[in-house]
């Protein structure tokens, strides 16, 4: 049954997910250029928002992978897309509550795949494509970013090591304006497209787009770009308040190398349609730029947590997606199940936010 | 089995393009910064030949780094 109300709910949930994606990831994109004072917080956030918006228009290959490369598009219903999104949001909320590093991208793909497996079984998922297009690039990309940043910083120190630090710092501050801009553009390119892919799946399920000629409508590109840009802007102001406590200490050359490596890997992957975790790629770049100078500069414990989150996120979000799908079916077909889950999700999200806020307020400083 | 699943050629290109653009632009930009530092020193010491040489290095490297970024975006935007 094709329900327009259900389609509206799915699109609204997908855009909310996109907004939180931008909100959550602003720190990764702007942190090092603010900490090295290459950009003022206001400028860094404004540039990141605008370029996240622009990045969403560069390519649609990642959206195509999400919409038709890893799942049997014709088997996805609006309820499955909705359950996948809610499963991803639930997993993101849990990891956020406990402070675990998690990838929104992996959660989104895991949620949709889990809901699809629960609904139609293995025939709905292109298993080999999932491994080849999602899992292997997910493991490979932070390692490549680590290598690129490491090799870059070694070359940079060789080339400018004997120059006066003042001039070199000014030069790399300027370079960071460029690398930070490229990273924002890359982030918008890869992350906004995942939401576009899920909305496209819902449009196919609704019958608005043919499953035989899947394409991303322009209004989907514009709304997804706007949601991620607004999320980036809103998240940025939260970062300003915590500035100076969470930002990684690095010099301007390291910031340039880390951001440049992240941008290069994300843009190259987007060009070939690989949906990556931008958070993990940027973390790989930061660690590479730190490790090339001094191995002990890297917080290897954090690296271990990220590795753990890699392993957990896809199956855990998949499990949540499957559970949400089964709950959505309880009242029977149609829009009743998703509406019930939406009400429950809003209540739970508010409770989690309020609990975490009060926990942070009472925590010893 | 795994070889059939892994898109070796595509993934290889991702690694190669990432290394070439990431490390390449860093090297070229660093040469530009080094050139700018040399230019400032040469200006202070009033060495005309060195001013021209370092100025050319800084200018060319800056232009190449910026050009590579623009070219990358154009390639990505081309369907």
Query: Which residue in chain A is spatially nearest to B70 when comparing CA positions?
Result: A182
User: Tens digits of per-residue pLDDT, B5-40?
Assistant: 888 899 999 999 999 999 999 999 999 999 999 999
> What pTM did the predictor assign?
0.88
Interface A-B, measured as beta-carbon pairs within 8 A, has a size of: 121
Out of A152, A257, A272, name the one closest to residue B10 (CB): A272
Dihedral angle over CA of A144, A306, A178, A244, nearest 10: -150
Among A191, A260, A262, smallest CA distance to A231 is for: A191
Residue A271, min C-alpha distance to chain B (Å) = 6
Q: How far apart are CA A223 and CA A90, in angstroms?
A: 23
Cα separations in angstroms, A22 against A321, A335, B51? 22, 28, 45
Decide if A271 and B21 are in contact by the 8 Å CB cutoff.
Answer: no
Helix (H) or strand (E) holding A316: helix A300-329
Closest-CA distance, A289 to chain B, in angstroms, reads 12
Question: Residues of B with CB below 8 A from A263's CB?
Answer: 22
In chain A, % of residues over pLDDT 90: 50
Task: Please indicate whether, in this complex, the C-beta atoms of B18 and A58 are within 8 angstroms of each other.
Answer: no
Helix (H) or strand (E) holding A359: helix A336-362
pLDDT tens column, B45-54? 888 999 999 9
Kindly indicate the confidence band of residue A243, based on its pLDDT and cuts at 50, 70 and 90. Answer: very low
Report, in this order, helix, strand and coil percent for chain A, each rounded to 5.
80, 0, 20
Going by C-alpha positions, the residue among A274, A123, A270 that lies closest to residue B7 is A274
Contact criterion met (CB < 8 Å) for A163 and B37: yes
Mean pLDDT, chain A, integer: 87
Q: How far is it, in rounded angstroms, from Cα A199 to Cα A81?
A: 8
Task: Tell me if residue A159 falls in helix, strand or coil.
Answer: helix
Q: What is the DSSP letter of A363?
A: S
Does the beta-carbon distance from A148 to B76 stay under 8 Å?
no
Q: Cα separations (Å) of A20 from A14, A16, A162, A343? A: 10, 6, 44, 18
A164-181 pLDDT per residue, tens = 888 999 999 999 999 999
């Amino acid at each position: 049954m094709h329900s327009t109300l259900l389609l509206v709910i799915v699109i609204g949930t997908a855009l909310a997910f996109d907004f939180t994606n931008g909100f959550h990831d602003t720190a990764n994109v702007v942190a090092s250029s603010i900490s090295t004072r290459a950009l003022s917080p206001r400028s860094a956030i404004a540039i990141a928002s605008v370029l996240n918006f622009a990045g969403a228009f560069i390519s649609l290959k990642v959206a195509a992978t999400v919409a038709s490369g890893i799942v049997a598009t014709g088997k996805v219903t609006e309820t499955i897309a909705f359950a996948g999104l809610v499963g991803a949001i639930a997993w993101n909320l849990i990891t956020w509550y406990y402070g675990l590093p998690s990838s929104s991208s992996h959660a989104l793909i895991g949620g949709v795949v889990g809901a699809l497996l629960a609904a139609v079984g293995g025939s709905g998922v292109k298993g080999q494509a999932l491994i080849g297009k999602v899992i292997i690039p997910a493991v490979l990309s932070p390692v490549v970013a680590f290598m690129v940043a490491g090799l870059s910083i070694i070359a940079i120190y060789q080339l400018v090591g004997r120059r006066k630090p003042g001039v070199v710092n000014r030069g790399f501050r300027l370079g960071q304006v460029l690398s930070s801009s490229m990273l924002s553009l890359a982030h918008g390119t890869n992350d906004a497209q995942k939401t576009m892919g899920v909305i496209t799946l819902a449009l196919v399920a609704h019958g608005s787009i043919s499953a035989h000629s899947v394409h991303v409508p322009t209004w989907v590109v514009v709304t997804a770009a706007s949601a991620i840009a607004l999320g980036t802007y809103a998240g940025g102001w939260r970062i300003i308040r915590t500035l100076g406590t969470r930002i990684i200490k690095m010099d301007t050359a390291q910031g340039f190398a880390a951001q440049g490596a992240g941008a290069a890997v994300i843009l190259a992957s987007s060009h070939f349609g690989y949906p990556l975790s931008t958070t993990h790629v940027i973390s790989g770049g930061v660690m590479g730029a730190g490790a090339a100078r001094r191995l002990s500069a890297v917080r290897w414990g954090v690296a271990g947590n990220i590795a753990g989150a890699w392993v957990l996120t896809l199956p855990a979000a998949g499990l949540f997606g499957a559970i949400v799908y089964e709950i959505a079916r309880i009242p029977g077909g149609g829009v009743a199940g998703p509406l019930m889950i939406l009400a429950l999700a809003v209540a739970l999200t508010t409770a989690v936010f309020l609990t975490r806020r009060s926990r942070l307020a009472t925590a010893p400083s | 089995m795994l070889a059939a699943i892994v898109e070796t050629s595509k993934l290889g290109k991702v690694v190669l393009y990432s290394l070439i653009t990431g490390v390449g632009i860093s090297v070229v930009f660093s040469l530009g910064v080094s050139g700018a530092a040399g230019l400032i020193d040469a200006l202070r010491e009033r060495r005309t030949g060195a001013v021209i040489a370092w100025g050319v290095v800084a200018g060319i490297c800056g232009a190449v780094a910026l050009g590579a970024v623009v070219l990358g975006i154009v390639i990505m935007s081309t369907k």
